[in-house]
Structures are given as structure tokens and as C-alpha cells.
Chains A and B, each alone.
Chain A
Amino acid sequence: MDQNLLKLFPPELQETIESLYDVILERALFRAYQNLDEEKKALMTEIFALENDKAKENFLKEYFKDLNDLIIEETKKILEEVKK
């Protein structure tokens, strides 16, 4: 999360927002990961074991195209709970 943006929120909420974002991102990534077939999952494990950020970046660009939508969906779900 961009720290500059986070700092714009009230200090007492910053840590909470960060942990909320952490959960959202993890849930979205988990869903994106589940959508991969076994071959791609194996490939991903291999790529993320390397110290090659470019390769990781390319993999995400290619196979996690819907991550944005998933993040929005997870954000909605979590905030729905907050509103209850």
C-alpha cells in the first residue's frame, strides 16, 4: 500500500487500515491463485522461488489479470461486515 496515501488518514486508523488492506489483498490473491490450473500453480511456485522481480511481475501481468476485480470484491465483502 502506498505509504503516502495511508499517511493522509487519521493516525489512529492507519495501522488498522493497513491490516485491513493486508487481509483484502491476501484473500483476493488466494482467489486468483485458486483459479489457476495445476500447471500454472507449479510455474508460479517456481518463479516466486527465484530472485527475479521481472519474472514475477510478468507472471502476475499475464495470469492475474482479474486481480483488480477480486480486490474490489473482497473490499466490498469486508466493508459489508464493517457496516453490520
Chain B
Amino acid sequence: MNIENPQKQFSPDEEGNSIKKEEEPQLPFKEKEPQLPFEKDDKKESQLDNKEKEKPAAKKELEEKLTKQMDIRDEIVKLEEKRDELEEKLDDPNLSKKEKKELENQLEDINERIKKFQKVLEVLEKETTDKFSSKEIVDHFIEELQKIKDLPKNTEIQKRNVFKQAKKLLEHWLPFGCLDDFQGLDELLETMEEAKPKTMISFNYQKEKIASKVAVHMALEWEKWKNDPQEKIEITKEFINKWLKDKSFYYQAAEKLKQFKGGETKKSEGKTKEKPSKLFRLDIETSNLLKLVGDRDKTISKVAKILAMQNVSYNQMEGLVLDIENQNIQKNTINELLGIEEMDKEEKEELFKETKEKIEVFPTLPLKKKYYEKVYGEKLEEAEEPLTEKEKIALEDAEKNGNLLSKVLEKLTTDPESQEYIEALKKKISEIVDKNKKETPKIVKQTKEFIKKAESKDTKKLPFWSTLGTFAGYSVLLLFIGILLLEIEAGKNVSGAGAAVKIKKG
């Protein structure tokens, strides 16, 4: 089979017909990464050749097929990265019309190529599952997982390598995850967590996005996943609660944050009442935001909607939907589910197809602009108790919020491991600051100095302060740096939480 261009053999279009060669996306030669456990290492070629000869032909064929799929997925990742770059460039307001048009054309071309690769992948995946037994396929991935488990994990670099390899294997395993009720992927996530690199700032975020992706795949593969529907719902729910709640850094950090609630106790008519202070409201807000970053509720919502598109009734998945904690998300999900249920078969199929296309093959990592826009745009509105505008910009509350973070941070920054993390963060920020120092007009610098000078005075005496709104931007900055630092302590606790939820084998 031709690795460079798998379509020379399969060449399917959407309806399974052949497509013209000139329209086919070309795969470049695969660059071998020496440390990939599931790829051939050139240096050991002669040894492997002997081993290869010993392998049964069927096993070799399966490995070839899966390796080919990995190559195609790698190519999709590269295209997606290129697409993200182009999207960033398109945001530049200084682009001429001609440049914009050119970029849009390139973007369209890349999207087309991604779609074609995905279609080829679908065909290859189907061919693999048709020809080989579930056990053969699962055994192959278990072997690859074992190779990752056997990798050394003593240094930070080695741990990062384990994470990288695990992430890559997970991406390739996803389409076949249903063959063992996603147990293997669950174990892979465990392996990832066991080798958590302390200095990898985005580890928790990446891990949770991956877990969310697996959960969404559980829904996408519903028809392919041979198991009792109710059992499948239970497995999905348990997986989500394990990785996006019990073992979620964000969820657990949010819970911890609530402990600093600072509520005021008020005696009234002989009864003691807990009156939430402004500080408490801010805690709740930050806590809600943290939970939303963790994406548990959003993931359940997404899963439920994908299931509804595949004719799973609301009654069947009620337990899952009612598990959504954020009342706004739950309410909106139920409304959307009712809307989907009212659709006819064709409409549902069309919606499912569109949804599947929109969901990328891989998590978009590292963080993308879209993500933050999501969190700080619509997410604030989704929070259960959104602050009023006045509350958001109140200096008094800002100071309290800073105090709150400070209390948490003070606790965090006492152990040596935290210091290591803070140093890494500091270094990273310094690099970014240096990189972003640009020449700007003198008037911009003058204005900046004017604002900074004003802010350094007693801000309460500055009537324009809130109009300029510098607090809001600063607050986001504080919150995020706080979250980054919180990852140290809460991350450790989450890792040690030892969630009892286990994925059941059907």
C-alpha cells in the first residue's frame, strides 16, 4: 500500500466513488521520530527485520494498516496547525483586501484537504474493523501502551516524552476506543497522569481537553460501539465524572476555592443565617469559571446532543443530562434536546454529519484564542450567579479578589516544588515579554505612562478609572496567573484523589 498517498488504493469520495488523482491530498514522506514506540526505529532496523519475519502475516498487515492511519492523522494535525496559523493571520486588521482573499483561499484549500483525509481515514478504519477482530486491534494498542509504560520517567524530559507519546497513541486509538468499551483509553489517561511533568504549565488543561474528546468520541461512535445502550450511557457518565470531576484539576480547584468563602454569620430571629459576602460572590464566580474551564458540564451537554442526533431518547439519557451541575447549561441542553427530538430522521442525520465534521480529529492544543474568547465571553454569562457590571469593576471587590488569590497562593508557594513551577512560569513570561516588546509611536507610550501614573495613585480619586476599565483586563491577568499557580497544589491533590470510578467492561 502506498503510504504517501493512500487514496491511490482507496480513492473514495463521500459516496464511496473514486476521486481524481489531481484532487487528492498528497502526504509527504513520513519523518520518523526516533522515540516513537509504535513506529519503526531506523537504527534498529536489522533487529526489527528479524522480529518482523517472526510476526504472523495478519498481525503485520494490521500494523501496516494502523501505521498508515497514523500517518494520515499526523498529516491532518499539520494541516490543522497550518489552518490555525492562517486564522490568526486573518485576524490582522491591517491586511489588504488582496492579502485577505489570498489567505481565505488558502484556508478553504486546507479545509478541503482535511475533509478528504478524514474521508480516507473513515474508509481505512472501516476496512480495519471489518477485516480484523476487536481482540486483534485492541491487543495491538495494548502492546503500544505497554511500550509507553516501559519508557523511563525519571526526569522532566522523560516525563514530557511519555506525555507526548501517550497523547499521540491516544489520538490513534480514539476511533477504535469502543472496541474495549474505552477501557484502554482510560488506562492511557492514567499512564499520562502518572508521569505528569511538573513543569508543563498546560498539562492539566491538555489532559482535560483530551478526556473531553474521548467522551465526545464515545457519543460519536455510538452506533459502532456494540453494547447495551444503558450500559454505554453509564460508562460515558462514569468516564466524564472520573476525568472531568474527580480527577479534574479545575473542578477540584473550584471546590477548594469555595472553602475560602468568607461568609458572614448573621443572627436573625434567634436563628443563625449565613449571609454571603461580596467576597463570597467573587469566590463563587471564580469557582464557576474554573469549573467551566474544566468543561465537565459542557462535555455532558455535547455528548447528550450527539446522542439525540442518533435517536437516543431523552428518557434514556435523562440521568446523564440531569447530572449537569450548571443550571443554565442544563436548561439550555434540555431545550436543545427537545428541539433535536422534534426533527425528522433526515434532519437529525444531516445535523449529526455536520456536527461530526465540525469536531476536529484532535484536541486543538495548545490553547487557542477561540478558547479564551469562549471562556470570557459567553462563559461569564453562563455562570450561575453572574456579577453585575458594577460589582465587576468595583475596586473594593477587586482588592478582595486579589486577597483571596493571595491567600491561596501563599499556601501554594511554600513548598520547593511550587518554587520550581513559579520559576518556570516566570521564565516563560519573561521570554514572552521580551518577544512582544515592539516599537510603538511615542504618543502610545505617553498614554501608557499617563494611565500607569494614574493607576499608581489612589485610584478611588480617579473618576475615569472605571471608564478606562483597566481593572477588568488586570483582573483577567490576575485570575489566569492565579490559576496557573493554583495548578501546583490542586493538581497534586487531584492526582492523588484516587477516584474510585472505574470504567466497566461490558
**Which chain B residues numbered 3 to 29 have a C-beta less than 8 Å away from chain A?**
none
The CA of A82 and the CA of B482, in the complex, are separated in Å by 13
Residues of B within 8 A of A56 (CB): 447, 450
- Out of A8, A27, A67, A76, name the residue touching B373 (CB < 8 Å): A76
Do A26 and B444 touch (CB < 8 A)? Answer: yes
Q: Mark A3-18, 1 if CB is under 8 A from B, else 0.
A: 1110011101100110
Residues of A within 8 A of B446 (CB): 48
Q: Is B34 an interface residue (CB 8 A)?
A: no
Q: Assuming the A-B contacts A10-B413, A28-B473, A76-B476, are A64 and B436 also in contact, with contact meaning beta carbons closer than 8 angstroms in the complex?
A: no
Do B441 and A5 touch (CB < 8 A)? Answer: no
User: Of B122-130, B131-139, B395-403, which stretch is located at the interface?
Assistant: B395-403
Give the residue name and chain of the A residue nearest to B443 (CB).
A45
Do B467 and A75 touch (CB < 8 A)? Answer: no
* Consensus secondary structure, chain B interface: helix
- Out of A29, A53, A60, name the residue touching B444 (CB < 8 Å): A29
Residues of B within 8 A of A9 (CB): 402, 405-406, 409, 478, 481
Residues of A within 8 A of B450 (CB): 48, 53, 56
Chain A's nearest CB lies how many Å from the CB of B349?
Answer: 36
User: Of B40-48, B223-231, B333-341, B424-432, which stretch is located at the interface?
Assistant: B424-432
User: Of B140-148, B155-163, B311-319, B452-460, which stretch is located at the interface?
Assistant: B452-460
**Which chain B residues numbered 411 to 427 have a C-beta less than 8 Å away from chain A?**
413, 422-423, 425-426
Residues of B within 8 A of A64 (CB): 468
The CA of A60 and the CA of B450, in the complex, are separated in Å by 11
Chain B's nearest CB lies how many Å from the CB of A1?
Answer: 6
The CA of A13 and the CA of B395, in the complex, are separated in Å by 22
Do B409 and A10 touch (CB < 8 A)? Answer: yes
Do B456 and A83 touch (CB < 8 A)? Answer: no
Do A67 and B432 touch (CB < 8 A)? Answer: no
**Which chain B residues numbered 434 to 448 have a C-beta less than 8 Å away from chain A?**
436-438, 440-441, 443-448
Number of chain B residues close to chain A: CB under 8 A: 65
Do B367 and A80 touch (CB < 8 A)? Answer: yes
Q: Assuming the A-B contacts A20-B432, A75-B477, A84-B366, are A1 and B452 also in contact, with contact meaning beta carbons closer than 8 angstroms in the complex?
A: yes
Chain A's nearest CB lies how many Å from the CB of B453?
Answer: 9
Residues of A within 8 A of B473 (CB): 24-25, 28, 68, 71-72, 74-75
**Which chain B residues numbered 182 to 236 have a C-beta less than 8 Å away from chain A?**
201-202, 205
The CA of A21 and the CA of B373, in the complex, are separated in Å by 19
Do A48 and B443 touch (CB < 8 A)? Answer: yes
Q: Is B270 an interface residue (CB 8 A)?
A: no
Residues of A within 8 A of B469 (CB): 67-69, 71
- Out of B406, B448, B464, B478, name the residue touching A25 (CB < 8 Å): B448
Do B367 and A5 touch (CB < 8 A)? Answer: no
The CA of A29 and the CA of B450, in the complex, are separated in Å by 12
Do B399 and A71 touch (CB < 8 A)? Answer: no
Residues of A within 8 A of B406 (CB): 8-9
Give the residue name and chain of the A residue nearest to B410 (CB).
A10
Query: Could you pull out 17 A-B pairs where Cβ atoms are within 8 angstroms?
Result: A1-B452, A1-B455, A5-B402, A9-B478, A9-B481, A10-B413, A13-B425, A16-B433, A22-B448, A27-B438, A30-B444, A33-B443, A45-B443, A48-B450, A68-B468, A71-B469, A74-B473
Given contacts A23-B437, A24-B477, 6 further A-B contacts (CB under 8 A): A5-B398, A9-B402, A10-B409, A29-B447, A57-B454, A78-B432
